[in-house]
Amino acid sequence: MRKQNRLVLLLALLIVLAGGSFGLYRILRTPYQSGTKAGQLPVLVYHCIDVPPSKRDASKNKDFDYLYVEPESFDKQLAWLKKEGYRFLTPEEVLTWQPGEKAVLVTFDDGYTDNYTKAFPILQKNGAKATIFMVASKLSYYNRLTVDQLREMQASGVWTIGSHGYLHQDFTQLAAEKLDENLRLSKEILEELTAVPVTAIAYPKGGYDETVIAAAAKYFEMGFIALPSQKEGQTQSVMNLPREGVYSYTTMRDFHYLMRQYFP
Ligand SMILES: [Zn+2]
């Protein structure tokens, strides 16, 4: 082989190796660091449990695919939590939870129909519990849970109903009176529906600040945000508990690392 050819071959080999290790790096990297949230309670937030729309129909919009966790993945995640000894909490149990006890709060936002048709049987199969934050003005809307479904979910002992506002609005954008009305109405409507006190709220669109927290504390015992940790300079209380999003792109490996932040 001529010297020149050997050089070209060596160069090609180097490119392949570099590309391969970069691919490997991408597979092995994780955004989660083990033990960094030890002592905190892991709270997960899901939206839809189904095959993403564009995977069912290629002509469908892909923009919201990330909100879909496939039923098979959700089943694997719950089975793993159970196997690892996690206790599935209700919101009330969050208030008495002691750091060190291996537990998790599974939550759902917005109240999509698949939470009843797909998530519910998977939760039952795994002996798990979940909390669902409902937009009180959107009961029985298109692709949203009906009143009958919600009643059945609540009565099963698997689900706890929480508030996600009356309208799905950013609370930081509302005047004091509107904010109070939004909070009060959501609580009244949901409590009338289930005949059970609604004590938890998840702020719609993740919008919260000190004013929102003070207003919500008038009606609710605990509040959940849409971020995995507090914004800089904010102190954590039961009115602004962080949540970890689980998405279509969360691999099983990501999920393990996500949980190991709390329980290494
Ligand atoms: Zn929402």
Task: Quick: pLDDT tens for 43-97.
Answer: 999 999 999 988 888 888 888 999 999 999 999 999 999 999 999 999 999 999 9
Is pLDDT of 216 > 60?
Answer: yes
CA of 109 to the centre of ligand 1 (A): 5
CA of 211 to the centre of ligand 1 (A): 20
What would the mean pLDDT of 100-127 be, rounded to a whole number? 97
Between CA 193 and CA 111 the distance in angstroms is 14
What would the mean pLDDT of 120-138 be, rounded to a whole number? 98
Is pLDDT of 106 > 60?
Answer: yes
CA of 182 to the centre of ligand 1 (A): 14
- When pLDDT is cut at 50, 70 and 90, the band that residue 15 belongs to is low
Is pLDDT of 1 > 60?
Answer: no
Contact 154, 160 (CB under 8 A): yes
| Predicted model pTM | 0.89
CA of 73 to the centre of ligand 1 (A): 22
Residues, beta carbon < 5 Å, ion ligand 1? 109-110
| Residue-level pLDDT at 16 | 58
CA of 168 to the centre of ligand 1 (A): 6
Whole-Å CA distances, 233 to 31, 84, 203, 213: 22, 34, 19, 15
| Residue-level pLDDT at 228 | 92
Task: Quick: pLDDT tens for 132-180.
Answer: 999 999 999 999 999 999 999 999 999 999 999 999 999 999 999 999 9
Is pLDDT of 21 > 60?
Answer: no
CA of 205 to the centre of ligand 1 (A): 5
Task: Quick: pLDDT tens for 203-215.
Answer: 999 899 999 999 9
Q: Classify burial at 100, counting beta carbons within 10 Å of its beta carbon; exposed 0-12, middle 13-18, buried 19 or more.
A: exposed
| Residue-level pLDDT at 56 | 86
Contact 230, 240 (CB under 8 A): yes
Is pLDDT of 24 > 70?
Answer: no
The helix/strand/coil state of 141 is coil
Between CA 193 and CA 190 the distance in angstroms is 5
CA of 135 to the centre of ligand 1 (A): 8
CA of 246 to the centre of ligand 1 (A): 14
Q: Is the dihedral of CA 73, 105, 109, 237 positive or negative?
A: negative
Between CA 90 and CA 43 the distance in angstroms is 11
| Residue-level pLDDT at 165 | 97
Is pLDDT of 19 > 90?
Answer: no
